[in-house]
Amino acid sequence: MKRKMEISELIFKIVAYVLLIVFAVMCIYPFIYAISAAFSSGEAVNTNKVVLWPVDVSAGAFLHVFSGIMSSQFWISYSNTLFVAFIGTLWCMVYTILGAYALSKKRLLGRHGFNFFLVFTMWFSAGVVAMYNNYVDTGEVFANLVGGGKWDEVVDLKWLVIIAMGMNATNVILLRNAFEGVPSEIEEAARIDGATEMQILWQVYIPMSKATIATIALFFGISRWNGYYWAYRMMTNQPESWPVQVYIRDFITKQTNLVNAIDESEVTWIYEYDAVSVAYSMVVLAIIPILAIYPFIQKYFAKGVNMGGVKE
């Protein structure tokens, strides 16, 4: 028999659903607006005629991104982002899996101290200046390895962004908790069968924690794909290494009246295709890979966070 809902419970559900709907609309509207602006004429966007649906529908902005004078640099930056996201995620996952596996073992000497220092970095961040100095020092090490010189000129800074951002304390803790949830009897059975440490990690712990691993890989992939601030700060002198987010920011800075464009050849096309519409079209193109990958990983998301976020 279905229980009759009380008035207070009904009011709570109504309020909760209204707030969730408002929050969902606030999250999805900017993306809908970006798509509408990308397919609208520049005049419609500049005169605020675009609210929800495209106005004066045109694919001119996308055509310019694919074949205009700035298309070559955009796709170079796009490939840089693909490279940083893919290689950076692999790099991060290797260190996260190895670190989480070691920290999950009670036999690790100094385990509590290592875990404390890991959590300490989440409580107290070193700050922007310390992180910048860390990147500079890392770049100088790379420069010495390739023969010396100024680090921001002789080093491909894509590798600096990949390697210097290879660890995240929160993700290590999530995966450590997931590894701690694997029954110790399974590991003992594998050791009796003669499995080595790496075989136990690869054939026991990773398959049994694949939901958490997929979730953490998604976290790393999105952070690398959307990474802007440090790439912008560290790659100022290497436009050929810019990820697409830095290129879009530079494009907006030069082409939407924030500052005067340095090269007049870069602005001659504005009279045919408005820069704002082109910028929105690049934003839409930049988010397509994440939208394509996310549905395949979404099924692991809630399960992975629950497995890694709860410690018994």
**Domain tally, the chain:** 1
Confidence band (pLDDT; 50, 70, 90) for 157? confident
Q: What is the CATH number of the domain that holds 246?
A: 1.10.3720.10
Q: Is 50 within the bounds of a domain?
A: no
Q: Is 189 within the bounds of a domain?
A: yes
Q: What is the pLDDT of residue 256?
A: 59
Q: Is 101 within the bounds of a domain?
A: yes
Average pLDDT over residues 196-220: 86
Percentage of the chain surpassing pLDDT 90?
4
**Residue 181 to residue 38: CA distance in whole angstroms:** 47
Q: Is 172 within the bounds of a domain?
A: yes
Q: Is 64 within the bounds of a domain?
A: no
Least confident residue range of 2-6, 149-153, 171-175, 207-211: 2-6
Which residues contact residue 274 at a Cβ distance below 8 angstroms, ignoring those fewer than 6 apart? 41, 42, 43, 45, 46, 61
Q: Is 62 within the bounds of a domain?
A: no
Segments of the chain assigned E as strands: none
- Cα-to-chain-centroid distance, residue 98: 21
Residue pointed to by tokens 């912008």: 232
Q: Is 278 within the bounds of a domain?
A: yes
Range of the domain at 236: 70-309
Confidence band (pLDDT; 50, 70, 90) for 69? low
Average pLDDT over residues 201-228: 85
- Cα-to-chain-centroid distance, residue 19: 27
Kindly report, residue by residue over 96-112, the tens digit of the pLDDT.
999 889 888 888 888 88
Residue pointed to by tokens 């976290």: 219
Is the confidence at residue 35, as pLDDT, over 80? yes
Distances (CA, A) of 159 to 18, 162, 180, 227, 269: 46, 5, 33, 14, 34
Q: Is 110 within the bounds of a domain?
A: yes
